[in-house]
Amino acid sequence: EAQVTQNPRYLITVTGKKLTVTCSQNMNHEYMSWYRQDPGLGLRQIYYSMNVEVTDKGDVPEGYKVSRKEKRNFPLILESPSPNQTSLYFCASSLSLVSRTGELFFGEGSRLTVL
Amino acid sequence: AQSVTQLDSHVSVSEGTPVLLRCNYSSSYSPSLFWYVQHPNKGLQLLLKYTSAATLVKGINGFEAEFKKSETSFHLTKPSAHMSDAAEYFCVVRPYSGAGSYQLTFGKGTKLSVIP
């Protein structure tokens, strides 16, 4: 089954404790992206990757890191989490956004709470 | 630069009555437009998309949307609401310059409630 898989789905952590949210897709998609969703703000892009070893900042990259060493994986790293990073995070992928018809496929989300 | 405005943060309808969720956009280039739906505790799922072909686009679950360039709108409609339609809906714009574009802009969402 074609899917985007995120882990963990739920996490409670404390300020400053490094964590990684993994994202994996099985559709051989070139494009992958991370978003955070906060009430009243919709989805905001954190980082995106157009292909292996190619990443770029989105609208709200501060406090986050990413890497794209393999095509299928795009982990989101919080080196020193802070309470303002408490949010619902989504990973998404697309075959290619060069095509006009390119659409995003989303994971089910990871709810992160930083105390 | 592009932007998306979903005109209602919350819409409430009775089961069996029509649904209208409004979306206005601005874009420097000819845009692709999408509607996504998010059910509670789930990821976003594509409902439908406009990519410069027919201006009236049909999607899943009986939803459709009409691209109106003169009004810069892409409103989502359904003739008869079902309880399972209760969810949050997001309008998304992606300007297309011909060279491709990776910049998608999401609206802030419209929460649809369906009253039995």
In B41-70, the residues whose Cβ lies within 8 Å of chain A are 41-46, 49, 51-52
Q: What is the pLDDT of residue A102?
A: 75
Terminal alpha carbon distance of chain A? 36
B39-86 per-position pLDDT tens digit? 988 889 999 998 877 889 999 999 999 999 899 999 999 999 999 999
Amino acid identity at A72: R
Q: Is A16's pLDDT higher than 70?
A: yes
**β-pair type (A4-7, B44-50):** unpaired
CA distance A52 to B65: 35
CA distance A51 to A29: 8
A30-39 per-position pLDDT tens digit? 999 999 999 8
B25 inside 8 A of chain A by CB: no
Residue A43 has its nearest CB partner, among B41, B51, B90, at B90
| Phi (first) and psi of residue A2, to 5 degrees | -70, 125
Reading the block at residue A6, the tokens are 């995120």
- Residue B58: C-alpha distances to residues B13, B34, B55 (Å): 21, 11, 10
- Nearest chain B Cα distance for residue A38, angstroms: 9
